[in-house]
Structure 1
Amino acid sequence: MRVLLVEGGPTRSGALASIIQRRGHHPTRSRLDGPIAADGTDVVVLDLDQPDPAGFGALRRIRAVSRVPVLVLESPAQLDSVVRWLELGADDYLVKPAMTDELVARIEALARRAATPAGPPEQVVRVADVRVDLRRRTVIVGDETIRLTGKQFDVLATLARRAGSPVSRHTIMVEAWDDGPQPNSRSLDVHLAALRAKLRRPELLRTIHGFGYLFG
């Protein structure tokens, strides 16, 4: 796997490049304010020590010429910044300092997804013993069918379509309430609490503080 590390600060990517190389991959390093050659790269990591408008510009330049997966590594996390990254085309986001194993695993997952030929959307999402049938709008936990309200299923479906990746609160509210007025933040919290109680698998529905939620 070829990983391009685009550095916005001096503190992280040198060590990260060494770790990626020890895992058998091939990192290269570039500066945020320099040319970014994404061609021939499997994953790009934008490594930022602080929110930096130049980072948004770098992602725009990458997206103008390539659909290579991009992971943003940033500190500190700010909700407005996270939402903007995702809207501009970032594929994943992690808050620094990130656990090394999780960071490398996410990079590898992005590369695997990009290498998988596109096919029809998955209709049944399986996470542990939970099965979410997006077409039939049913949820089975173990051998038991779980009754959800329509809006609870819409929230779960938004997460299930991106199982294994963080989903921002903004994205959930836009997609799950696309047929009506946008809810307030408290309404989303109520639906998530109800989902956790009904699924009885709290470890599968995680809160990503300052950002949103992850199903998986």
Structure 2
Amino acid sequence: MKILIVEDDERVSEALSVFLRKRGYRTQIAAAGSQALAQLGSDTEVVLLDLGLPDVDGIDLCRRIRAQTGVPIIIATARSHVQDRIRGLRAGADDFVVKPYDVRELVARIEAVTRRSRVLAAPQDQRVETQGVCINMTSRQVVVDGELIDLTRKEFDIVGVLARYPGVAVPRERLIREVWNTEWHAFSRSLEVHIGSIRRKTGRSELIETVRGVGYRMVVS
């Protein structure tokens, strides 16, 4: 697996690269946003993205990477404010960790984001249609009234889980476990942010119903 480390602190990037290589990963280091975009390739399987870069804001770079590819992006930064987390997730990041972090946890998160597509894989040509919304589980596309909606990887993962159980209240804990592959309840806020984004993008606030004290349910026609 090839990991692109986007980090302007050479000591941090080199130490992380050595750690990951010892565990069998291939790594590539970019110290700036322009370098990261130049090195991003079809063989890149994960991007570890610091937000404090010399030539571009990391959030903007995250958007540019997401516009080009569906590669999993993990933001690893010293910024700990909740607003930074929200902006990062809305920009298309799959995960967000705050420095200083335990490298073993980082490896676990890398493993989680790379296997999530397999965990959420759906049967061939499975589709769910409700409330004027067509959800194609195979192509990972959501169409509202004939218009393709641009959802991030995480947003579709959430839609995919809810669509597999239409009309059923899915507990928050289960959504977090299946989408983020963790039991960490700190992701509850991230889940709320993503649900709000899905409602806004689809223009169907009624599509996903909040079930108080339980979780969320996809409303069926």
Q: How does 1:35-184 map to 2 (within 5 A)?
A: 35-36=35-36, 37-39=39-41, 40-48=43-51, 54-114=57-117, 118-119=121-122, 120=137, 121-122=160-161, 134-135=165-166, 137=168, 155-156=172-173, 158-165=175-182, 167=187, 169=189, 171-172=191-192, 175=195
Name the count of aligned residue pairs. Answer: 162
What CA distance in whole angstroms lies between the structure 2 residues aligned with 1:174 and 1:46?
20
Amino acid at match of 1:169: R
Seen in structure 2, the aligned counterparts of structure 1 residues 160 and 59 have a Cα distance that, compared at 3 Å, is same
2:25 matches 1:25: yes
Which moves more between the two structures, 154-163 or 11-20?
A: 154-163
Q: What are the ranges of 5 or more consecutive residues in structure 1 without an aligned counterpart? A: 124-132, 139-152, 184-190, 196-216
What CA distance in whole angstroms lies between the structure 1 residues aligned with 2:7 and 2:179?
27
Cα contact 2:4–2:40 (8 A) shared by 1: yes
What CA distance in whole angstroms lies between the structure 2 residues aligned with 1:112 and 1:157?
17
Cα contact 1:7–1:47 (8 A) shared by 2: yes
1:117, distance to aligned residue in structure 2 (A): 7.9
Q: Give secondary structure in 2 for the equivalent of 1:98.
A: coil
Q: TM-score, normalised by structure 2?
A: 0.59
1:198 is matched with: none
Q: Give secondary structure in 2 for the equivalent of 1:42.
A: strand
Cα contact 2:161–2:175 (8 A) shared by 1: no
What CA distance in whole angstroms lies between the structure 2 residues aligned with 1:137 and 1:115?
23
Seen in structure 2, the aligned counterparts of structure 1 residues 62 and 115 have a Cα distance that, compared at 3 Å, is farther
CA RMSD of aligned residues (A): 3.7
What CA distance in whole angstroms lies between the structure 1 residues aligned with 2:119 and 2:3?
17
2:13 is matched with: 13
